[in-house]
Amino acid sequence: MTSQMRGPVSAEQIPGFTQQQLRDRFLVEDLLVADAVRAVPTHYDRVVAVGAVPTTSPLALEAIPEIRSEYFLEHREIGLVNVGDAGTVTAGGVEYRMEPEAVLYLGRGTRDVTFASDAAEAPAKFYGFSAPAHAEYPNVLAGPDEGTIKELGDPTTSNRRTLRQVIHENGIRSCQVVMGITRLHEGSMWNTLPSHTHERRTEFYLYFDLPSDARVVHLMGEPTETRHLVVADEQLVLSPSWSIHSGVGSQAYGFVWAMAGENQSFDDMDHVQITELR
């Protein structure tokens, strides 16, 4: 299991960054790699992103030096989404069947977490979003059709989308992690428009279900100092609390959104109208 720390970046640094510096600090291009478990610890609310792609044999979620723990979830919780084909997660001696787009919450104190795929040629791809936890909540699996479903946007503005809240204050309970999946409808390409910031929370976006020749132009930065990242399939964007997080794709796509911070209120956001962006 490999890890690489992403340190904090202040909003004041952004105007001087090159495009490559932006990508190096806010985009994870290789989180989901065959036969590997990769972790990206960050200083944004101490969130750790995890990617695991087992093929011929199971892979284990192990502690990394940056969290100073005996095992990964000793002081943490994690939300896991399968963005690949079918597989299983075994945690604390219990096996959880993970169909595509199933979501699994594992609470603080859960030991012996392993990932497996049903078929090596069509592996499961597990994305994890982990935050520090001060209490223990039960491990819970949600199937691909479970959660609080919200239909948002309008086809006339090309942002019709289905938002599925899974780990949240009125769903699967956690200490900090809030997680769900959004899918754009055919013919819609804009996500999270009008955009917003979360002054009290960090949010990560994992884009998925994009063809190899498609891209999402992800907008980031302060509302009056915006920048962009061109993002491919299964790449992860780290969005600090001061940054907007919105984007437009060359075609419809899906993304996993996950947050951690001071509260779990989904509606706690500071909206920014498109006429205010610079």
Q: What is the pLDDT of residues 157-170, one digit of tens each?
A: 999 999 999 999 99
Question: What predicted TM-score, i.e. pTM, was given to this entire model?
Answer: 0.96
Query: Is residue 70 in some structural domain?
Result: yes
Number of independent structural domains in the chain: 1
Helix/strand/coil (H, E, C) string of 183-233? EECCCCCEECCCEEECCCEEEEEEEECCCCCCCEEEEEEECCEEEEEEECC
* Within a domain: 92: yes
**pLDDT value for 263:** 78
Cβ atoms of residues 14 and 222 within 8 Å:
yes
Residue with tokens 């399939």: 233
pLDDT, mean of residues 86-114 = 98
Domain extent for 267: 17-276
Of the candidates 268, 269, 159, 182, the one whose C-alpha atom is nearest the C-alpha of residue 223 is: 269
Tell me if 12 is assigned to some domain. Answer: no
Q: Report if residue 50 sits inside a domain.
A: yes
| 163 Cβ contact partners less than 8 Å away, ≥ 6 residues apart | 149, 150, 151, 152, 180, 181, 182
Residue 3 lies in a domain: no
Residue 205 and residue 256 in contact, taking contact as beta carbons nearer than 8 Å: yes
- Is position 2 within any domain? no
Mean pLDDT of the chain: 95
Is 9 a member of any domain?
Answer: no
Rounded CA-CA distance 59/53 in Å is 8
| Local confidence band at 261 (pLDDT 50, 70, 90 cut-offs) | confident
CATH code for position 114: 2.60.120.10
- Domain contains 93: yes
What dihedral angle (degrees, nearest 10) is formed by the CA atoms of 82, 235, 49, 269? Answer: -100
- What are 35-90's pLDDT values in tens digits? 999 999 999 999 999 999 999 999 999 999 999 999 999 999 999 999 999 999 99
Q: For residue range 196-217, what is the model confidence (pLDDT) as tens digits?
A: 888 888 999 999 999 999 999 9
The owner of tokens 């977490």 is: 113
Q: Tell me which H or E stretch contains 271.
A: strand 270-272
In whole angstroms, give the CA distance from residue 8 to residue 192. Answer: 24
Phi and psi, residue 244, nearest 5°: -70, 165
Given pLDDT bands bounded at 50, 70 and 90, which one contains residue 10? very high
Q: What is the pLDDT averaged over residues 119-125? A: 97
The yes-or-no verdict on residue 271 having pLDDT over 90 is no
77 with 176: CB under 8 angstroms? Answer: yes
